Structure 1
Amino acid sequence: MRRPLSVVSIVSVAALLALSACGERDQTLAAGRHKSPDEPWRGAQNAFVAKTWTPTDKAGWETQLRQRAQTQNEYNKTN
């Protein structure tokens, strides 16, 4: 014969489940972490930059981003 669960045991299990989420640590990034202090169009001055772009050229940077996005556009690839 099985004993029915008492109200106290049900409440205590529910309280344990509710409090278990309190131990989870914060998963957001710290403010300012993983951010560059400079503008992205300042860029690296090495051989890995696009040949048609010069560092500190904001308009050229935006043009390069648009062109790269269009080469990844599946509608342009299939049509």
Structure 2
Amino acid sequence: MKPVLKANPQRLFRSIFATQEEEITCPVCFELLDSYVDSEISGADAAALLPQVRQHLDCCYQCCELYEGLRQVADLV
């Protein structure tokens, strides 16, 4: 697992300045990732439908990696 700072310093800075009053945890984000990717694939604005997921993905390297892997698999289907 890469440290966030070495993985992407820009993501670290975004996460510092993008904190919200209501943020979701990694387990909650993980539960919503299928819906988020399904929305993207169907052409919907997933970030508008699930803004807390988008915000979490922008700030969390580990969840973003899971999202990118799920998206790659979905694109193969």
TM-score, normalized by the shorter chain, greater than 0.5: no
Report the TM-score, using the length of structure 1 for normalisation: 0.31
Higher relative contact order (CA 8 A, sep 6+): 2
Which one has the largest radius of gyration?
1
Structure with more helix by fraction:
2
The two structures have a TM-score, normalised by structure 2, of 0.31
